[in-house]
């Protein structure tokens, strides 16, 4: 028989400890977000459908994005035991300068449509965290405004080659004069991908007040208040707006972009230059042989060619072919600090996060971006400790196995033939 007694009032008082209520709604909201997925949930609740879907969506059937995220889920870590790592060093040297963490903020277009603080929130948060911030050609803050927001940090500029080459050349010169240290030459957008969510939502730049948008805005009045009471959107590279994102991109981008354009821009740029949007081994080798400072394995977050190669799957092959000392970076599908650790273990020198940044921005402006960085930092540090590594330099391919889910048919046939021969 269990002996029972009346509760001791003093013991009850010890158990009854209530947290002080948080009166700041933004902080209360963000404190509940433990993962990037949590930030996404908050962002979806607070942002009009068209703007949220522009961030969240990808091209056509969105297979490239789904596969990229699945690839990070389909990994197996191999921790070492009895290797204490109470203090971990997450810093790296990348493209001639330091970063306190092995990731930076990727370039994102039309950012102030997601949340009115836009690139200024991203740049200032990156500066506070000691990581690079990348401004897009299609950004909604000027090159100089971002420099001022991150005056003592590292600013990178992402460049599209426009039909009017003088626009691209002018942006390159402005970024150099503003002290940006790295140019991100983007090669995977000769034309716009088919972003079907945007088409179905009638998403335009700037957003139009229609019956549908008004109905969708009713539970989100703060977004429209911010949009209508802050300076109108301005784009350094677009002289006209008033169409869908695809229409704007197709009117501005040049499908004739070539290696010659890369050489011209390279001759104009005084700092480091990296090529973003590399999607096969052959192009990786050619670019490294040409002497670019780095390459970024990327399928544009799944927003261009659907069914494109998965950057995380491509990473070990490229590192093996171009050498461990080449600066190979990666983006697309990163939603957890463990994804970043796995990428570094397989040879990446750095990673970039885009959607994760925008989810934080939509969830809470500058504080939301700070919180996004905090989440990823915590996940990186915890994963490193559990693996038994005290610094990123200690990571190696033996720490990670990429589990096979998508195997090329030719490989499957080869394996089947080998198995049959052994059996015979």
Q: Of the residues 152, 300, 371, 396, which is catalytic? A: 300
Q: Is the dihedral of CA 244, 248, 250, 251 positive or negative?
A: positive
Give me the DSSP letters along 167-213.
HHHHHHHHHHHTT--EEEEE-S-SS----HHHHHHT-EESPP--HHH
How many C-beta atoms lie closer than 10 Å to residue 163's C-beta? 14
Please calculate the CA angle 358-363-369 and round it to the nearest 5 degrees: 55
Residue 92 CB contacts under 8 Å (≥ 6 apart), including other chains:
98, 99, 101, 102, 349, 350, 392
Centroid of chain to Cα 403:
23
* Cα dihedral value 379, 385, 387, 393, nearest 10: 90
DSSP reduced 3-state for 24: coil
Residues 306/58, Cβ–Cβ less than 8 Å: yes
Q: Is 371 a catalytic residue?
A: no
Residues 108/132, Cβ–Cβ less than 8 Å: no
Residues 146/155, Cβ–Cβ less than 8 Å: yes
Q: What are phi and psi of 58, to 5 degrees?
A: -145, -165
How many C-beta atoms lie closer than 10 Å to residue 367's C-beta? 19
* Cα dihedral value 60, 280, 272, 263, nearest 10: -90
Distances (CA, A) of 175 to 96, 159, 182, 270: 17, 10, 9, 10
CA-wise closest residue to 145 among 108, 117, 181, 105: 117
Residues 166/189, Cβ–Cβ less than 8 Å: no
The beta strand positions in 10-105, using DSSP E, are: 75-77, 92-94, 97-99, 103-105
333/53 Cα distance (integer angstroms) = 16
How many C-beta atoms lie closer than 10 Å to residue 308's C-beta? 24
Active site (catalytic) residues:
300
């Amino acid at each position: 028989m269990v002996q029972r007694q009346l509760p001791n009032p003093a013991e009850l008082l010890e158990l009854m400890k209530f947290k002080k209520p948080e009166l700041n709604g933004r902080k209360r909201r963000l404190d509940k977000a433990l993962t990037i997925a949590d930030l996404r949930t908050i962002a979806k609740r607070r942002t009009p459908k068209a703007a949220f879907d522009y961030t969240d969506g990808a091209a056509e059937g969105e297979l490239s994005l789904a596969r990229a995220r699945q690839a990070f889920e389909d990994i197996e870590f191999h921790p070492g035991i009895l290797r204490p790592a109470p203090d971990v060093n997450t810093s790296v040297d990348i493209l001639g300068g330091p970063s306190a963490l092995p990731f930076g903020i990727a370039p994102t277009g039309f950012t102030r449509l997601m949340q009115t603080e836009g690139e200024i929130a991203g740049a200032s948060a990156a500066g506070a965290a000691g990581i690079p911030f990348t401004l897009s050609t299609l950004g909604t803050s000027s090159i100089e405004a971002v420099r001022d927001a991150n005056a003592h940090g590292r600013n990178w500029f992402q460049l599209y080659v426009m039909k009017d080459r003088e626009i691209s050349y002018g942006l390159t010169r402005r970024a150099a004069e503003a002290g940006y240290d790295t140019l991100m030459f983007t090669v995977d957008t000769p034309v716009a991908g088919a972003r079907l969510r945007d088409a179905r939502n009638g998403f335009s730049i700037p957003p139009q007040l229609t019956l549908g948008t008004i109905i969708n805005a009713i539970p989100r009045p703060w977004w429209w208040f911010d949009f209508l009471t802050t300076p109108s959107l301005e784009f350094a590279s677009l002289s006209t707006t008033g169409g869908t994102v695809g229409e704007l991109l197709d009117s501005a981008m040049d499908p004739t972009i070539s290696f010659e354009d890369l050489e011209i821009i390279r001759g104009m740029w005084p700092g480091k230059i990296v090529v973003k949007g590399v999607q096969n081994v052959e192009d990786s080798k050619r670019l490294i042989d040409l002497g670019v400072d780095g390459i970024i394995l990327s399928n544009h977050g799944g927003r261009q060619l659907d069914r494109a190669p998965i950057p995380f799957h491509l990473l070990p092959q490229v590192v093996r072919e171009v050498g461990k000392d080449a600066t190979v970076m990666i983006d697309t599908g990163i939603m957890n600090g463990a994804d970043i650790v796995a990428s570094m273990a397989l040879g990446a020198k750095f990673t970039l996060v885009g959607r994760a940044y925008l989810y934080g921005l939509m969830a809470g402006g500058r504080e939301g971006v700070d919180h996004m960085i905090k989440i990823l930092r915590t996940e990186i540090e915890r994963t490193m400790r559990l693996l038994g590594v005290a610094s990123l330099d200690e990571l190696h391919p033996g720490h990670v196995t990429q589990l096979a889910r998508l195997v090329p048919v030719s490989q499957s046939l080869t394996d089947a033939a080998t198995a049959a021969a052994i059996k015979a």
